Amino acid sequence: MFGGIRIGRLAGIPFFINPSWFFVFAFVTFSLATSSLPAWIPGEADWVYWLLGPTVAILFFGSLVAHELGHSLVSKAYGIPVRAITLHLFGGVAQLGREVRRPREEFWIAVAGPAVSVALGALFWGSGYLLGDFLPTVANSLVIVGILNVGVVVFNMVPGFPLDGGRVLRAAVWGAIGDYRRATKVASTAGRLVGLLLIFGGIYLAVTQGDISSLWLTIMGFFLMSIARQSYVQAVIQDTLQKTPLSEAQIRLIAVPGYLTLDELYAGYISTTGRQYYLVEVGERAVGVITPYALASVPRLLWGVTPLTSVMKPLESIPEISIASSAVAALNRMEDSGAEMLRTLEHGRTTGVVTRDQLLRLIMRARATR
């Protein structure tokens, strides 16, 4: 869903277009030029409709970006990083760097997007009204963009996760019962019910009305059901990791002197203890960490002449985190820093490391026990 073709940055947030977006852009443009615009603005030449079609589509998708930007700016105001905004097959999505921590955050982030769409709907509709006597064709096109923005609000405020209305529902239930996990289950169940209604509604309209385009509702229904299910699984993982102390994922380090060679480390430590991570010290000062990749990076014939200090990972290059933190805090720290490993601190001293593999094991365990 995330990633694709990078277009640039908006308010410091990377903006991507997923390749699937080009399909829906072409579909919307074709529908506007051949059906919607001729019905709404009759009597124009075909080339006018084909000129207005992509124009209206661009304004509409620009509105979707603004909608997601509304979510993103409120997220950033709450200190939640936003990794990207992506346009894709079913609209737009903002990728947040972490989950919200309080119902209030969830509510205001959720309503920010629809608020932007309401404002844009009023702006386009009002502009169309003011231009009606001077440029009626342009005015009617702007009114269509306004109506599309209102449609975005109506659809997104349906109370089913992950729609904005579903997030508002989760915020309300979460605030009422104080349980993030149960609130997400309620909202995601509602999302799956909405998905089912879209699936059967699309099929019903296609069969009874002969409107094949109604099957788009069916596709959206399947998409919504899938995302709602995944969202609940993600909430279970989030909740489990939040309650899991980082000590459960920590690999404690044995200190070894930096003058040792790889041969000496292997013979005296790795082969006898099975440990693969070591804290390298020079004198009594910790200077780096030896990982399994250090040995793999040096040909076996050179192990006898390669000191640990030449292949260690310098301590200052490894992001740190307190051992008192939760596993989810470590995961967020890794995502923010792009690191594959963190060093854990106890009373200001490095005592261990947490790797991405260790956190993935916790995630898999959470999935298995959901």
Q: Are strands 313-314 and 285-290 parallel, antiparallel or unpaired?
A: antiparallel
On whether the CB atoms of residues 168 and 110 are closer than 8 A, the answer is yes
Mean pLDDT taken over the chain: 88
Percent of the chain exceeding pLDDT 90 equals 44
Largest Cα–Cα distance of the chain, in whole Å?
89
Instruction: Give long-range contacts, CB 8 A cutoff, 24+ apart: 150-154.
Output: 150/117, 150/118, 150/121, 152/63, 152/64, 152/67, 152/91, 152/114, 152/117, 153/114, 153/117, 153/118, 153/121
Whose tokens are 């072409």? That residue is 26
357 pLDDT above the threshold of 70: yes
Predicted confidence (pLDDT) per residue in 71-85, tens digit: 999 999 998 888 888
1 pLDDT above the threshold of 50: no
Q: What angle separates helix 356-368 from helix 327-337, to the nearest 10 degrees?
A: 130
Measured distance CA(339)–CA(361) in Å, rounded: 17
Predicted confidence (pLDDT) per residue in 93-129, tens digit: 887 877 788 999 999 999 999 999 999 999 999 998 8
Measured distance CA(63)–CA(115) in Å, rounded: 12
Residue type, 265: L
Q: Which domains does the chain have, with CATH numbers?
A: 5-242 (no CATH), 246-368 (3.10.580.10)
